[in-house]
């Protein structure tokens, strides 16, 4: 069975600084995909970034980047130049193509 | 605009009543999903459907039922057998992207309160 673990229930960061959210997963699959989703107070789930397990290069989307360590089954999210609008719950997710498995989330507070 | 709609945003029911949550998508996605979200927990999969007239149980299907008569629609019924139905329910659909992965798109959710 696939499991996703986020060990940081809540984190805070000052505006304009950098923060890293941790995620580990467990799977015996060789082909899979990893995602970070953002859920702001509106509760709308928004895809932040995607990483294909077969790619060695870490994904980057503007201020968001990941550190994907396949052997360690680790998939952390780095947010650079944090903005107030980044305040949200962040969920790490694993997909073995069609089914998705989510971590319990990290609540990120960006302070002015 | 393409997207996923869930209605209503808030739903209140008395204990012992069945209630159906609506989910409609116009993204032409084949796969659709229902998740339940409780405070302090991630999303837990209730049911999913890959094609019309076919669906599979997720991790917490007990007390729930679904149908998939049309590609665009995947309603979820919360039955009186669900012991703790008060929760936030999210519907999603997915499509395969160029990399081969399936990306999920979510509706705005329905907050169900049963008293």
pLDDT tens across the length of chain B (115 residues)? 669 999 899 999 999 899 999 999 999 999 999 999 998 788 999 999 999 999 999 999 999 999 999 999 999 999 988 889 999 999 999 988 777 778 899 999 999 999 9
Give yes or no for a contact between A59 and B5, defined as CB atoms under 8 angstroms apart.
no
Give residue-wise pLDDT tens across range A21-62.
999 999 998 889 999 999 999 999 999 999 999 988 999 999
Predicted pLDDT at A43: 92
Give the closest of A98, A102, A104 to B102, CB-based.
Answer: A98
Looking at CA atoms only, how far is residue B25 from chain A in angstroms?
A: 15
Residue B3: what are its φ and ψ, rounded to 5°?
A: 175, -170
Give residue-wise pLDDT tens across range A5-16.
999 999 999 999
Q: What is the C-alpha to C-alpha distance for residues B100 and A68, in angstroms, rounded to an integer?
A: 18
Predicted pLDDT at B23: 97
Between the alpha carbon of residue A78 and those of residues A22, A46, A68, B11, B112, the distances in Å are: 9, 16, 11, 37, 34
Predicted pLDDT at B1: 60
Average pLDDT, chain A: 94
CB contact under 8 A, B100 and A52: yes
Q: What is the C-alpha to C-alpha distance for residues B104 and B11, in angstroms, rounded to an integer?
A: 24
Which of B54, B81, B82 lies closest to B68 in space, CA to CA? B54
Give the closest of B101, B106, B109 to A95, CB-based.
Answer: B101
Predicted pLDDT at A30: 86
């Amino acid at each position: 069975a696939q499991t996703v673990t986020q060990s940081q229930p809540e984190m805070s960061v000052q505006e304009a600084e950098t923060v890293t959210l941790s995620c580990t997963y467990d799977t015996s699959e060789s082909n899979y995909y990893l995602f970070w989703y953002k859920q702001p107070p509106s509760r709308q789930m928004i895809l932040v970034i995607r990483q294909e397990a077969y790619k060695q290069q870490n994904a980057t989307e503007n201020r968001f980047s990941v550190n994907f360590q396949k052997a360690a089954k680790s998939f952390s999210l780095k947010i650079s130049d944090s903005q107030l609008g980044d305040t949200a719950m962040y969920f790490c997710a694993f997909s073995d193509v069609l089914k998705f498995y989510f971590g319990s989330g990290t609540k990120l507070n960006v302070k002015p | 605009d393409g997207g996923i709609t869930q209605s209503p945003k808030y739903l209140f029911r008395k204990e012992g009543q069945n209630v159906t949550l609506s989910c409609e998508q116009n993204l032409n996605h084949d796969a659709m999903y229902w998740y339940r979200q409780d405070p302090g927990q991630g999303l837990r999969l209730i049911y999913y459907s890959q094609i019309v007239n076919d669906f599979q149980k997720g991790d917490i299907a007990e007390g729930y039922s679904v149908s998939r008569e049309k590609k665009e629609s995947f309603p979820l019924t919360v039955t009186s057998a669900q012991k703790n139905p008060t929760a936030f329910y999210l519907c999603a659909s997915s499509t395969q992207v160029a990399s081969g992965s399936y990306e999920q798109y979510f509706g705005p959710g329905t907050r169900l309160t049963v008293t």
